[in-house]
Amino acid sequence: MITLFHSPRSRSTRIVALLKELDALDAVRIKVVTIPRMDGSGGRDPRNPHPDGKVPLLDHDGVLVWESSAIIQHLAELFPASGLGIPVGDPQRGPYLSWLAWYAGVVEPVLTIKALGLEHPGLGRTFRTEAEVVARLADAVRDRPFLLGDRFTAADLLLHSPYAWFGKHGLPEIDAWVDRCMDRPGARFAADFDARHAAV
Ligand SMILES: N[C@@H](CCC(=O)N[C@@H](CS)C(=O)NCC(=O)O)C(=O)O
Q: Model confidence over 162-198: pLDDT tens digits?
A: 999 888 778 999 999 999 999 999 999 999 999 999 8
Count the helices and strands in the chain (H runs, E runs).
10, 4
| pLDDT for the residue 199 | 60
Ligand 1 nearest-atom number relative to CA 35? 14
Asked if 159 contacts 141 with a C-beta cutoff of 8 angstroms, the reply is: no
Q: Is the pLDDT of residue 14 over 70?
A: yes
Question: CA 55, CA 176: separation in Å to the nearest integer?
Answer: 28
Question: CA 25, CA 13: separation in Å to the nearest integer?
Answer: 13
Residue-wise pLDDT for 126-172, tens only, equals: 999 999 999 999 999 999 999 999 999 999 999 999 999 888 778 99
| pLDDT for the residue 182 | 96
Q: What is the pTM of this model?
A: 0.97
| pLDDT for the residue 29 | 98
Pocket test for ligand 1, best of 35, 44, 58, 102 (most atoms within 8 A of CB): 35
Ligand 1 nearest-atom number relative to CA 44? 17
